[in-house]
Structure 1
Amino acid sequence: MKKKSWMLLLTLVLVIGTVLAGCGSAEETATTDSGNTTEQGTTDNGTAAEPAATDANLAADQTLHLNLSAEPPTLDPAQAQDSQANTALRFMYEGLATIDADGNPAPGAAESWDVSEDGLTYTFHMREGATWSNGDPVTANDFVFAWERVLSPETVPAPVYAYQLYYINGAEDFNTGKTTDFSKVGVKAVDEKTLEVTLTNPTPYFLGLTSFYTYYPVHKASVEASDAWAADPSTMVTNGPFTLTTWTPGSELSWTKNDKYWDAANIKLTNVTASVVNSGATETASYQGGEIDYAGAPTGEIPTDQIQPLSQQLPDEFKLTDIASTYYYEFNTKAKPFDNVKIRKAFAMAIDRQSLIDNVTKAGQTPAFGFVPTSIAGLNNQSFRDTHPDSEYFKEDAAQAKQLLEEGMKEEGYTTLPPVTLLYNTSENHQKLALAIADMWKKNLGVDIQTKNEEWSVFLESRKTGNFQVARAGWSADYNDPMTYMDMFVSGGGNNNTGYADPAYDKLIDEAYKGGNDLEKRMQDMADAEKMLIQDNMVIMPVYYYTQASLTKPYLKGVTTDFSGAINFTRAYLEEH
């Protein structure tokens, strides 16, 4: 078979084509409730798609009011790495493909594509009439320029998500400096309306990846005109449904409908405003007071002690859903005392996850003993966790944890453990959990833990530069396949903040990349890698698989949430109320 049908069939069989804002999350994020059974994606947290808006029921004022619990560290698609930036960038940019309300890849900046018989060559046909917000046509060259910028070793700071383009033939060699000739990378503009992409290996979820922000195009003239182009609304030229109107740091962002967007007729919102308030209590109060139309994850948070009351008080507005996302702590394996694997294991085994869920987070999460969430697809329409249970990796056992700690301290020559600081990003919910875990470590291991919080952008930088011992982390799926979790920890990986580097692990991931249509071997390679990551080395300490709590006003329609918890407001609209 050829053309789109080949790829779409594989995508449906593997149930993996949906790309979300995987990436690190500032707040609570969710998966498609209840382990997402291997469905690709859902609409409105699991409900059926809503009927299209009609002019008769639209509110006169189509201004959507939101809150962001953290300011996006950047609005440069090449530098983005978190859920806040993902939400903002979705308003402003569009990739070759988008993700439709059913979670499937759909035409975006490309109106169609062909796929070769061997699954290696994609030919994208650019959409007629697609323009940038300044009126310039969107061309194949815009994607070539953007992708070269992501991969170029000269881009500063180095994009942490460059590895998401390694599926493209020659991309890794160019990014790592093995070649300086970008023409050897498998992406070229055949002409202004045709983009040809050649992959290293068949990748059934590649179409979904082209909707991810690292694959977005950028406007070459604007980028080259100013180093600060992505921080100033007046210099930001975009190709999505909205343009950034204002950005008041620490206070507010706002967007206006882009009338030059190719599908502007189906964009009902005229304006979007987002306050930046890092308080779940304030955000929830603003929602209840009618100041914002949506509250909770993934853009903000609802305080844990309000989840139960709100679910009872506002049953038609409150939603609690499972999502493909994992809450964990990551150890800096190069920093004392966590350069000792026995000490890392002791800390992971010395907490009671179910107790944390019942008494602290209070949102029905599932205790995690692995990294890949229950909702990520595996073989034969089963969850990856069904065929590779995480219960085999380690057990909670305070007595054994204490023994391992003593053995690790003896190996390192410690009579007392060096001071330990637990780092988390500013958030009421993260603080509650950090204090509870620190208390468990004190009780079960006899160690005193200092806790420290940092604002989101500072926190990301601390993790990136290794300026931590143990830090809170969260990861949402970028696509529905275990690889979106497992390739994070390859040696030198852009999102690998732990310092972990193991050639044996790298080999397993490389073999999984090359697995092609040998699905059973691919899954086994990734399961072996996860075992190495956690059971053998305890590079990270899994805590739970997320749920996502949110509040949506009854008059706000057309909001879609995919299996990873990423949210899309671009086709939303407000009814009369």
Structure 2
Amino acid sequence: MTKLFTTTALLTALAMPALAVEPAEGETLAETQTYTYWLLDAIKSLDPALNTDVEGSDAQRNLYEGLMIEDAAGAMIPGMATSHEVSEDGLTYTFTLRDANWSNGQPVTADDFVYAWQRVVTPETASEYAWYLELMNVQNAAAIVAGEMTPDQLGVAALDDKTLQVTLTTPTPYFINTLSHTTTYPVPRAVIEEHGDAWTRPENLVGNGAYTLASHNLGVEIVFEKNPEYWDAENVVMETVRGVTVNDNNVALTRYQAGELDRVQIPAGQYPRLSEQFPDQAVSVPYGCSYAYVFNMGENGPEALKDQRVREAMALSLNREVIVDQVLQGGQRPAYSWTHWAINGFAAPEGGMEDMPMEARLERAAELLAEAGYGPDNPVRLQLQYNTDDNHRLLAIAAQQFWRPLGIEIELNNVEWAVHTDRLQSGDFEVARYAWCADYNEATTFLDWFRTDGYNSGKWSNAEYDELLAEARTAEDTTPLYQRAEEILAEEVPAAFVYHYSKVDMINPAIKGLPTENLRNTWYAKDLYRIAE
């Protein structure tokens, strides 16, 4: 397979000097540089090939570094790659890697990326994010995931120790934006081959990020220490980072106020009060995640949810404005699309239930249920599953109350995060709370979720939808395609979209460097510092 190209349409020189973390005028660095942040749930995996959640991504950005990283506004800047070239046809990317070491002192090479990416798509790895390399349009990824080709046929090659070449199946304008995601991180082959599944234990884990794994007490806390082997270690100020798991958000807030945590999510309904009392600590900024109740339309799903009229009635009767304005109260927005409103270049389609008064929505919902043979005298009975969190509980209770008058009886089922995600993956649920956070700042990061072969826990399928997303990969103007895709979601209702996130936190004013303009809230502890209080 020929990998070389002779013409280069674009040379992007990214080799910029590292910017040292420095206190602003009037600030003095604290003698002890520590940062302690809140985790709602246990981190499922520290293996980049197996990670699926935000908490795991936050941890892995400290332990590893990919080709690209993000700045405070979410723009792509150099990580392991100092520069890259793109072929004239837009199909071949050639990256030059910087001189960098793993935490055990061994050099990071292009082969570490080749091995990592091949490992993700290898069926035996059972990576839930194998589809991500398909979405990136890496050559042969889809066929390898399907078991039709071997991993060594993936379109990624090490030309030498410091030159990595990636071949795509089609020009992909957002490709560079995908490269800060944890799934694309390098991993150390020798360590994995020596320790197997145990390679991510603190005594074994070797990373190339700014921190090493000091300890990990699953479901209690995780501790990172500054990595002296990191290529930019001299500019890393924060010495120790701790993630502390507290399943109860209100308890976590109490611990923040006691000085035990430096950052914590504000519980639903408390932002107005806290922002008034602590204007220098309470923060609400747009956050690229969307919250939904996913309907199981797969083999294990209930018969009632296979009727579009039931799903539409549930979506219509969900009072998003009450949820946002009276329950959450943190700057969130009602969701009538799956794609977050602040995603670059996205414009939601006009019309639909968003323009209907709530009274008209409820009337239409009752009509649809009656047509489907349901109502207060013959209720739809469903179980709504959500993972442990007081906000999720409050929203589930609200949904239960919205649906009950129409004849939709909801049993609430609270489970731990690991159980929740396992059941979503296996299709063992009826209605499930779910949220998707953008992997990169472009609409396909949301829309691809509902592809027939996407993450798509509810197993909904629509041929036109799949074709639209396939066409969008090479279209010059994606706006009408994305709008039509959202219209199909609104028509077929594979999920009831609830709200678009804001990041609503209490942050210790002594902690500096956390981003407030990055829609994905991508933070790196190497950019943080603590000032003397």
* TM-score in terms of structure 1 length: 0.85
Q: CA deviation at 1:503?
A: 2.4
- Residues 52-87 of structure 1: per-residue CA shift (max 9 Å, x gap): 238982111111112211111111111111111111
Amino acid at match of 1:523: T
Give the partner amino acid of 1:544. Answer: Y
Match of 1:72 in 2: 43
Q: Deviations over 1:401-450 (max 9, x none)?
A: 0111122237xx9983453111111100110010011011012x122211
1:156, distance to aligned residue in structure 2 (A): 3.0
User: Match for residue 446 of structure 1?
Assistant: 407
**SS of alignment partner, residue 227 of structure 1:** helix
Q: Which amino acid aligns with 1:140?
A: A
342, 354, 358: which is aligned to 2:325?
358
Q: Which residue of 1 aligns with 2:364?
A: 400
The match for 2:155 is 186
Alignment of 1:168-317 (within 5 A): 168-180=138-150, 182-296=151-265, 302-317=266-281
**Offset at residue 389 of structure 1 (A):** 3.1
Q: Equivalent residue for 1:538?
A: 493
Q: Is the partner of 2:434 in helix, strand or coil?
A: strand
Q: CA deviation at 1:394?
A: 7.8
Q: Counterpart in 2 of 1:464?
A: 425
Shift of 1:174: 1.5
Confirm or deny: 8 A CA contact 1:58 1:573 kept in the other structure.
yes
Give 1:573 deviation, angstroms. 0.6
Structure 1 residue 94: Cα displacement: 0.4
What displacement does 1:163 show? 4.4
Write the distance in 2 (CA, Å) between the matches of 1:331 and 1:322: 26
In the TM superposition, what whole-angstrom CA distance separates every residue of 1:528-554 from its partner, at most 9, and x where no partner exists?
22211222x100111111112111112
What is the SS of the residue equivalent to 1:235? coil
Q: Shift of residue 456 of structure 1?
A: 1.0
Taking the aligned partners of 1:461 and 1:564, their CA distance within structure 2 comes to 24
| One of 316, 328, 331 as aligned partner of 2:292 | 328
SS at 1:531 equivalent: helix
How many residues get paired?
Answer: 515
Query: How much has 1:570 moved relative to structure 2?
Result: 2.7
Question: SS of the residue aligned with 1:143?
Answer: helix
CA distance in 1, matches of 2:287, 2:58: 16
Among candidates 116, 126, 130, match of residue 87 of structure 2: 116
3-state DSSP class of the match of 2:111? helix
Inter-partner Cα distance in structure 2 for 1:409 and 1:104: 52
My pick for the range that moved more, 401-410 or 131-140, is 401-410
How many Å separate the matches in 2 of 1:163 and 1:404?
A: 40
- Are residues 159 and 482 of structure 1, via their aligned partners in 2, closer, same or farther at CA, if it must alter by over 3 Å? closer
**How far does residue 167 in structure 1 lie from its aligned partner after superposition?**
1.3
Alpha-carbon distance between aligned partners in 2 of 1:463 and 1:118, rounded to the nearest angstrom = 40
Q: Work out which structure has the larger RCO, using CA pairs closer than 8 Å and 6 or more positions apart in sequence.
A: 1
Question: What is the CA-CA distance between 1:374 and the residue it aligns to?
Answer: 1.3
2:507 corresponding residue in structure 1: 552
Distance, in Å, in 2 between the alignment partners of 1:325 and 1:359 is 20
Residues 222 and 229, structure 1, Cα contact 8 Å, conserved in 2: no
> Percent identity of the aligned residues?
35
Aligned pair in 2 of structure 1 residues 164, 256: CA closer, same or farther (>3 Å)? Answer: farther
Tell me how far 1:306 sits from its aligned partner.
2.2
> Does residue 332 of structure 2 align to residue 377 of structure 1?
no
Q: Quote the RMSD (CA, aligned, Å).
A: 2.4
Of 467, 474, 494, the residue aligned with 1:507 is: 467
2: CA distance, partners of 1:471 / 1:69: 18
Moved more, 49-58 or 503-512: 49-58
1:139 aligned onto 2:109: yes
1:570 alignment partner, SS class: helix
- Match of 1:245, SS state, is strand
1:93 partner amino acid:
Y
**1:241–1:570 Cα contact (<8 Å) kept:** yes
> For residues 158 and 475 of structure 1, what CA distance do their matches in structure 2 show?
14
For the Cα contact (< 8 Å) 2:316–2:353, is it kept in 1?
A: no
Q: What's the counterpart of residue 52 of structure 1?
A: 22
State the match for 2:448 in structure 1: 487
- Matched letter for residue 322 of structure 1: P
Decide whether the 8 Å contact of 2:118 with 2:152 is kept in 1.
no
What is the SS of the residue equivalent to 1:154? helix
Pick which of 471-480 and 561-570 moved more: 561-570
Report how far residue 481 of structure 1 moved: 1.3
Partner AA of 1:559 in structure 2: L
2-side partners of 1:573 and 1:6: how far apart? Answer: 29
Read off the aligned partner of 1:401 and give its amino acid letter: A
Please give the alpha-carbon distance, in whole angstroms, between the structure 1 residues aligned to 2:321 and 2:135. Answer: 38
Q: Distance in 2 between matches of 1:331 and 1:213?
A: 28
**CA deviation after TM superposition for structure 1 residue 392, in Å:** 6.3
Cα pair distance change 1:262/1:390, threshold 3 Å = farther
Alpha-carbon distance, 1:164 to partner: 5.0
SS at the partner of 2:172?
coil
Aligned letter for 2:40?
S
SS at match of 2:447: helix
Change (3 A) 1:468 1:291: same
* Deviation at residue 324 of structure 1 after TM alignment: 2.1
Q: Which amino acid aligns with 2:456?
A: N
Contact 1:393–1:531 (Cα < 8 Å) also in 2: no
Matched, 1:437 2:416: no
The answer to whether the Cα contact below 8 Å between 1:328 and 1:542 also exists between their aligned partners in 2 is: yes
Q: Say whether the 8 Å CA contact 1:560–1:568 is kept in structure 2.
A: no
Match of 2:413, SS? strand
SS at match of 1:347: helix
Task: Give per-residue Cα distances to partners, 1:190-234, cap 9 Å, x unaligned.
Answer: 111110111112222211211110100111011112232354111
Q: 1:306 to 1:164 in 2, by over 3 A?
A: farther
Matched letter for residue 435 of structure 1:
I
Judged with a 3 Å threshold, the aligned counterparts in structure 2 of structure 1 residues 305 and 374 are, in CA distance, closer, same or farther, namely closer
Structure 1, unpaired ranges of 5+ = 9-48, 297-301
Q: Indicate yes or no: 2:104 matched with 1:148.
A: no
Alpha-carbon shift at residue 160 of structure 1 (Å): 5.2
Give distance in 2, aligned partners of 1:115 and 1:506: 28
Contact 1:370–1:530 (CA<8 Å) still a contact in 2?
yes
The alpha carbon displacement at 1:569 in A equals 2.8
* Matched residue, 1:527: 483
Tell me: CA distance 1:102–1:370, structure 2 relative to 1, closer, same or farther (3 Å). Answer: closer
Instruction: Give deviations 1:364-410, integer Å, cap 9, x for gaps.
Output: 322111111210122xxxx423xx33646784511110111122237
Q: Which residue of 2 aligns with 1:498?
A: 458
The residue number in structure 2 matching 1:567 is 523
Would the alpha carbon gap of residues 570 and 453 (structure 1) be closer, same or farther in structure 2, given more than 3 Å must change? farther
